[in-house]
Structure 1
């Protein structure tokens, strides 16, 4: 298990180096994110039990990154999100090593990946009720239909069938609305397009000042006040996890020699994500 985790981390760092080179080439700012910030702060590298690497960008940097990533990625790597993929409707971006296989705990199959999430400007005087509803709907659309015969499940699935069959269309509408509302003088940042609906406000200066930090033997970009970022994200000042939480969160199976599309063909009779 520990050997697998370390090998996953090494593959993730390989993707991180590719992204770092692309960002420097195109003057794109990024930062380590979430558990990767905690790892850099406590260990100068990945958390020993963590099985991925996470990055974050402001919308301006993120859009610039997406405009160049396809032509810049080397062979054997691919980008997946609702803007650039025909079959993978993630709200955020995954950069995938296509020559590996990882089966996540929820059964999702891909190559070993690096996640990049986007933080949007949100006006400080934003009318929140309507937009929180839209943010929550993005999660409903992302998860999709659920099994069950309860009234809640029936209504949910009916709404998805009637109004949200095209995930990409809804996400793009949501993105345009958020970007338009970000044209303001007083604002904060929020991670609206992440794995979970997160309306927590981050002070603007957190995402507008950057430095470098040692991570796995090399310096990478990070928000300058990363302690304030961590305090906001985790609502605490001690970022160490108890023993019972020091477990790999994502995977149940990994193969570093098999392309994930081949795994899908062999095990699921499918050739795409």
Structure 2
């Protein structure tokens, strides 16, 4: 499948259009007393570049699990689904993601792994939960197993770059449990087990819904116990008070740019139109699928 080539000019246009979504989300969280933090490349960009990392193609945010759980119901209750749509896989909707996304429907962007997924394909803000990691080693290993099963049956695909026994086992499990109802039942049970630990009762936190690589990390919960603020493209955005400790643990010397061969967008985009609402693409795609 052909991928969209993001020229520096197109990438910058994409970045600037994502700011409306970030502001909308920030204002919603402030209105509802929900804690969230700018994380990852967005946080590095704020500290090192004053905004987007020049080659970054998205923004990620994180909420403590308790606030993350409140987000969808508050969003629905307050009728926030208009231009900006909150998407989360449940019994009615399948997104292919294991986390919440906020989608700006004013534009069209289709990721290569979601071409055949029936959702609004707009610009996306990824929203992750911060979970507690149990103190005991065995309990932590058990949590990771629950999380891997949750991710497998929620996303319904074998994680990329996972071959060998893990990849084979994943394919076998998906082959055995093919029905939508049984897969939903499995991931809901796994989710219940993996998130049962409380931030107030354990020493460390972890990122269970950020993918196989990230779920292995643990951080002292003190890193997240206060709020600091950074300037991102001229906007005031919250981050964890221990941001230096967090970023150093994960990225090392984050104030130094990586080698040139690493300065690339990390998402594969199949289609991008920053002048057309995504409903136009979605309707045409569904019509084509139906013949």
If the TM-score is normalised by the length of the shorter chain, which range does it land in?
Answer: 0.7 to 0.9
Q: CA deviation at 1:142?
A: 4.3
Pairing partner for 1:31 from 37, 51, 54:
37
Pairing partner for 2:136 from 107, 121, 125:
125
Aligned twin of 2:161:
none
Q: CA deviation at 1:103?
A: 2.4
Distance in 1 between residues matched to 2:93 and 2:288, nearest whole Å: 15
Q: CA deviation at 1:252?
A: 4.3
Aligned twin of 1:79:
86
Aligned twin of 1:205:
222
Are 1:82 and 1:168, in contact at CA under 8 Å, matched by a contact in 2? no
**Number of residue pairs aligned between Structure 1 and Structure 2:** 267
Distance in 1 between residues matched to 2:91 and 2:247, nearest whole Å: 30
1:225 aligned onto 2:242: yes
SS state at 2:48 partner: helix
Aligned twin of 2:127:
116
Q: How does 1:86-235 map to 2 (within 5 A)?
A: 86-106=93-113, 108=115, 110-126=121-137, 127-145=139-157, 156-163=170-177, 165-166=179-180, 167-182=183-198, 185-196=201-212, 198-234=215-251
Are 1:100 and 1:255, in contact at CA under 8 Å, matched by a contact in 2? yes
Structure 1 residues 120 and 83: CA distance shift in structure 2, 3 A: farther
**What TM-score, normalized to structure 2?**
0.81
Pairing partner for 1:259 from 268, 277, 285:
277
Structure 1 residues 269 and 171: CA distance shift in structure 2, 3 A: same
Point out where structure 2 has 5 or more consecutive residues left out of the alignment: 1-6, 159-163
Q: Once the two structures are superposed, what CA deviation does each residue of 1:132-170 show, in whole Å capped at 9, x if it has no partner?
A: 222222333245356xxx998776444224336444433
Aligned twin of 2:69:
63
Aligned twin of 1:242:
259
**What TM-score, normalized to structure 1?**
0.86
Q: CA deviation at 1:66?
A: 2.4
Q: Once the two structures are superposed, what CA deviation does each residue of 1:180-228 show, in whole Å capped at 9, x if it has no partner?
A: 2337623311111123351210110112211111111011111111111
Distance in 2 between residues matched to 1:178 and 1:205, nearest whole Å: 21
Structure 1 residues 170 and 89: CA distance shift in structure 2, 3 A: farther
Structure 1 residues 41 and 184: CA distance shift in structure 2, 3 A: closer
Point out where structure 1 has 5 or more consecutive residues left out of the alignment: none
